[in-house]
Amino acid sequence: MKRIILLSDTHGLFDDAIERHIDGCDEIWHAGDIGSLSVVNRLSQFAPLRAVHGNIDDAVIRHQFPQFQLFSCEGVAVMMTHIGGYPGKYSHEAYNKITNSGFLNLPAKVKLFVCGHSHILRVIYDKHFDFLTLNPGAVGVEGFHQVRTLLKFSLDDGNISDLDVVNIPRVFKT
C-alpha cells in the first residue's frame, strides 16, 4: 500500500502549509505548473516525486518532466498531465491519449486520470472511460482560487481508497 499526496499549480511556492501535509506519504505527485526547481528540490527531500510540466514551467522543468506520464503504482494504471480537463470536457491532447492504444504498455487499462491547470478541485468518475479523474485544484497562491487545495489517497492492490481533501486557507495580500 502507498499513500499519495497529489498537488498542482504551486507556481513556485512551497511553504509550511504544504509541508505539514506531506508527512506519512510514500510518493508525491505534482500535476504541473511547478514554477521553480526549488519546489522540485524541496518536494524530493520528503518522498519520491512524480511530476509533469505545466504551461507556466520553463525549459529546465520541461526537460526534467514530460507533458504526460503513464505509469503503474500499486496495481493502479495512471495517466497524468497538466492540461487534461474532465469527463465530457477533456483537452484535445488528453482525449487523444485516452482513446489511443498507446496505453497498451501498461499492465492494465488506465484506472486513474490525474490533471491540474484549472485551479478547481475535482473528483469525478468517468463512466464512459471507466476511470477516476482527480484534479487537486491549486496549492499555490497565484490565480483566482479562494482556497488552496490538495488531495491525499491510498493505492493498494489495484484499488484507490481513503481519499482526503485538504483545504489550506489562502492569505490575500492587502
pLDDT in tens, the chain (174 residues): 999 999 999 999 999 999 999 989 999 999 999 999 999 999 999 999 999 999 999 999 999 999 999 999 999 999 999 999 999 999 999 998 888 745 545 556 899 999 999 999 999 999 999 999 999 999 998 888 889 999 999 999 999 999 999 999 877 654
Residue 65 and residue 42 in contact, taking contact as beta carbons nearer than 8 Å: no
**Nearest alpha-carbon partner for 135 in 170, 91, 99, 171:** 91
> What does the alpha-carbon distance between residue 169 and residue 158 come to, in Å, rounded to a whole number?
33
Task: Pinpoint the alpha helices (H) of the chain.
Answer: 16-19, 37-44, 59-64, 92-99
pTM, rounded to two decimals: 0.94
Residue 132 and residue 119 in contact, taking contact as beta carbons nearer than 8 Å: no
Give me the phi and psi of 107, to 5 degrees please: -70, -15
